[in-house]
């Protein structure tokens, strides 16, 4: 009896569940989470900008690079989640709709893979610039490897349809 009383109190506190078709509920859930994850990405980018400003003041190159990485990752999270409308599932799912959805997902993956590769190349170029300033041969090798890795990722994204 006591358990049922506690359950009744708990059910009074909880909001009533939403109503609608499964597609409407999924769309509402995707919209809700996309909004909040996008906001979190914006906050991460803001924290990265603050860290960048503080690291420029201290003239710490490693902290500057870390701050730029945090800032760009926040922007990437925000933009990736902002483009969630490509994952909308049609109510009548035919073979043509499934193929169109799959192609849209491949374009999305290809676009972001290219961006990540270009970002890797950019970070490698920044690292190379800092290593040239300090005349650090080991850091130059790491920077060139980073540029190469970014270039490979960007190139692979353009041939994504070959693999799938």
Q: Quick one: pLDDT at residue 84?
A: 62
Please tell me the distance from the alpha carbon of residue 116 to that of residue 154, in angstroms, as a whole number.
7
pLDDT tens-digit series, residues 40-66: 888 888 888 878 777 776 777 888 888
Res. 120: pLDDT tops 80: yes
Query: Cβ of 57: how many Cβ atoms within 10 Å?
Result: 8
Length of the chain: 164
Query: Could you tell me the residue ranges of all domains in the chain?
Result: 20-85, 95-164
Helices marked H in 14-136: 22-58, 61-82, 95-134
pLDDT tens-digit series, residues 4-48: 666 666 666 656 666 777 777 777 777 777 777 877 888 888 888
Q: What is the mean pLDDT of the chain?
A: 77
Higher pLDDT, 96 or 87: 96
Please tell me the distance from the alpha carbon of residue 125 to that of residue 77, in angstroms, as a whole number.
23
Res. 122: pLDDT tops 70: yes
Please tell me the distance from the alpha carbon of residue 11 to that of residue 63, in angstroms, as a whole number.
49
């Amino acid at each position: 009896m006591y358990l049922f009383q506690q359950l009744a109190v708990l059910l009074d506190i909880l909001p009533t569940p939403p109503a609608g078709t499964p597609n409407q509920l999924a769309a509402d859930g995707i919209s809700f989470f996309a909004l909040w994850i996008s906001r979190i990405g914006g906050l991460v980018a803001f924290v990265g900008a603050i860290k960048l400003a503080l690291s420029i003041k201290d003239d710490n190159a490693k902290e500057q690079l870390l701050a730029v990485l945090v800032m760009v990752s926040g922007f990437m999270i925000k933009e990736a989640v902002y483009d969630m409308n490509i994952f909308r599932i049609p109510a009548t799912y035919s073979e043509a709709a499934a193929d169109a959805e799959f192609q849209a997902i491949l374009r999305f993956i290809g676009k972001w893979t290219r961006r990540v590769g270009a970002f890797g190349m950019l970070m490698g170029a920044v690292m190379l610039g800092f290593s040239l300033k300090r005349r650090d041969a080991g850091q130059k090798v790491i920077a060139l490897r980073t540029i190469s890795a970014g270039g490979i990722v960007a190139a692979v994204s353009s041939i994504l349809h070959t693999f799938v």
